[in-house]
Amino acid sequence: MTDWNAMSDADFRKEVRGFFEAEYPEELRHLPHRPKFAEIEHWHRKLHAKGWVAPAWPAEYGGMGLNAAKLLIFYEEQQRWGVNRGRDMGVQMVGPLIIKFGTPDQKEYWLPRILSCEDIWCQGYSEPGAGSDLANLRTRAESDGDDFVINGQKIWTTMAHDATHIFMLVRTDPDAPKKQQGISFLLAPMDQPGVEVRTITTLSGETEFCEVFFDNARTPRENLVGELNKGWTMAKALLSFERIFIGSPSLAQNALGQLESFARGRGAFDDPVFRDRFAQAALDVEDHAALYARFADQLKRGETLGADVSMLKIWVTECFQRITELMIEAAGPDGGTIGPLQVGNVSVDVLSSFYKARPTTIYGGSNEIQRNILSKAVLGLPG
């Protein structure tokens, strides 16, 4: 077993970069849509054989056991090369929860199946009445013999139509004094009569997320992770690393590169107004990277990140949006055209970048919610 953490940062980066560059299929680089598992299965097999499916998991569970510093490098390289994250909700979200709060039996059963993608997971948190105010969720799970019986509805469930299992937050005690109490974390199989999945078409025309209806669906009692009615705190405990990941510069950096080659091909740089706006965007990305480095250094020193890390997400997602808006402007009369636009020997899918940027300010805690958090937890403002 390689101790990756013992390597120097530079060597480790070289190793990761080398593997991606040699092994990642060219046709899957910078995929403009979220793939179904079948489309990336051959890549997943390679990653699995290499033992690199779960960089953050401890080695004893089949992960790479990377510390925060190495993990950042891994993700930086992944994004730099446009390596698709695959169907990683199992690895990113359920796995860590099972590792932290699961029983030995749960670990033994679920973790290998996550790594091999024998089970493919989707995240059932949001509901029609529970978006930003997630604790308002209503989907019920009631004890019935050896099972829980689930009734209710989830929505915006990414790739639920291509998942075998759903991990969900459900209400198990409707009489709890606070709505954050009485919520549990439950795993359930999708392939059963009581579960119905309807795809939702997004603005970009993709079917990326779904509604999931539960009508007396069942899941065995042993699929409760952690204590009954303690799901809220558990799910929140998971967010700390994700908060720097979601604020990493890569998306904006990649988009800026696309913008530049497209704008150059189109002659947009002849316009001094465009030049200035490009320079603004480029400097916004560069200075964001400097701020990101400050937080990354904090992680590398072994410190935990404070709530102030949210500012990375606010800045970079809004910057990403401005960059894709500039692409549309540079496209001029083609700004509404679906599909790749060819300029010289580069082809850029302007609309797809634009669409991809829109939800980044909505999911992962909307930017307004991030501002609420910063104003209270960091600035100490009242109310």
Partner 1 sequence: MTQSDKPSGDQEDLRLLRESARTLFERAGGSKRARTLRDAGGGWDADMIRKLAEAGVFGVTVPEEDGGLGMGLAAGGVIAEEVGRVIAPEPVVLTVGLSLGLLRRLCPNDARMAQLIGGETVLAVAWQERGPNGGPAEASCRYENGKLTGGKAWVVGAAGAQGFLVVAESDNGPVLVLAEAGADGLSVEERRQADGSAMGELSFSGTPAEELASGGAVQGTLAEAVNDTTALAAAELVGLSERAFEITLEYIKTREQFDKPIGSFQVIQHRAVDLNVMCEVAQSGVREALGLMDGETDPKARARLASRAKARAVTAARKITRDAIQLHGAVGYTDEYDIGLYLNRALVLSAWLGDDAYHRRLWFEAREEEGAAQ
Each as own residue / partner, the long-range contacts of residues 296-302 (CB below 8 Å, 24 or more positions apart, any chain) are 296/69, 296/72, 296/244, 299/68, 299/69, 299/72, 299/244, 300/68, 300/69, 300/72, 302/68
Of positions 291, 305, 346, 362, contacts partner 1 by CB under 8 A: 291
Q: Is 342 left (phi over 0), alpha (psi -120 to 50) or beta?
A: beta
Of positions 300, 335, 340, 362, contacts partner 1 by CB under 8 A: 300
Tell me which of partner 1, ligand FAD, none is bound by residue 296, counting a contact when its beta carbon lies within the kind-specific cut-off of 5 to 8 angstroms. Answer: partner 1
125 binds ligand FAD (CB under 6 A): yes
- Which segment (34-42, 169-177, 192-200, 288-296) binds partner 1 by CB under 8 A? 288-296
Of positions 57, 101, 121, 209, contacts ligand FAD by CB under 6 A: 209
Q: Which residue has the tokens 């089949």?
A: 62
Using alpha carbons, select from 123, 170, 128 the residue that is nearest to residue 149.
170
Distance of CA 252 to the CA centre of its chain: 15
276 binds partner 1 (CB under 8 A): yes
Give the single-character DSSP code of 378: I
Of positions 289, 362, 373, 374, contacts ligand FAD by CB under 6 A: 362
Whether residue 359 contacts residue 333, with contact meaning beta carbons closer than 8 Å, is answered with: no
Nearer to partner 1, 279 or 338 (CB): 279
Nearer to ligand FAD, 162 or 284 (CB): 162
366 binds ligand FAD (CB under 6 A): yes
Query: What is the sign of the dihedral through the CA atoms of 233, 234, 237 and 242?
Result: negative
- Which segment (21-29, 167-175, 272-280, 350-358) binds partner 1 by CB under 8 A? 272-280
Q: Nearest approach, Cβ of 16 to ligand FAD (angstroms)?
A: 27
Of positions 359, 373, 374, 378, contacts ligand FAD by CB under 6 A: 359
Please indicate whether residue 196 is annotated as part of the active site. no
Residues in the chain: 383
Q: Which residues contact 313 (CB under 8 A, 6 or more apart)?
A: 243, 246, 247, 364, 365, 367, 370
- Which segment (41-49, 203-211, 218-226, 367-375) binds partner 1 by CB under 8 A? 367-375
As a whole number of Å, the CA-based R_g of the chain is: 22
- Which segment (54-62, 73-81, 291-299, 361-369) binds ligand FAD by CB under 6 A? 361-369
Look up residue 210 and give its amino acid.
C
Q: Nearest approach, Cβ of 357 to partner 1 (angstroms)?
A: 18
Tell me which of ligand FAD, partner 1, none is bound by residue 286, counting a contact when its beta carbon lies within the kind-specific cut-off of 5 to 8 angstroms. Answer: partner 1
- Helix H or strand E encompassing 234: helix 231-237
Q: Nearest approach, Cβ of 209 to ligand FAD (angstroms)?
A: 5
123 binds ligand FAD (CB under 6 A): yes
**What separation, in Å, do the N-terminal and C-terminal C-alpha atoms of the chain show?**
51
Tell me which of partner 1, ligand FAD, none is bound by residue 366, counting a contact when its beta carbon lies within the kind-specific cut-off of 5 to 8 angstroms. Answer: ligand FAD
Kindly name the residue from 39, 242, 325, 329 that is annotated as catalytic: 242
CA distances from 91 to 65, 163, 243 (A): 13, 14, 16
Q: Which two tokens stand for residue 54?
A: 């779960």
294 binds partner 1 (CB under 8 A): yes
- In sequence order, what E strands does the chain have? 121-124, 140-144, 147-158, 165-171, 183-189, 195-201, 207-220, 224-225, 341-343, 346-348
String marking each residue 49-78 x if it binds partner 1 according to CB under 8 A:
--------------------x--x---x--
Of positions 275, 303, 304, 338, contacts partner 1 by CB under 8 A: 275
Q: Which residue has the tokens 């307004």?
A: 368
Tell me which of partner 1, ligand FAD, none is bound by residue 282, counting a contact when its beta carbon lies within the kind-specific cut-off of 5 to 8 angstroms. Answer: partner 1
Q: Which residues are catalytic?
A: 242
Residues forming the site for ligand FAD (CB under 6 A): 123-126, 131-132, 156-158, 209, 359, 362-363, 366, 368-369, 372
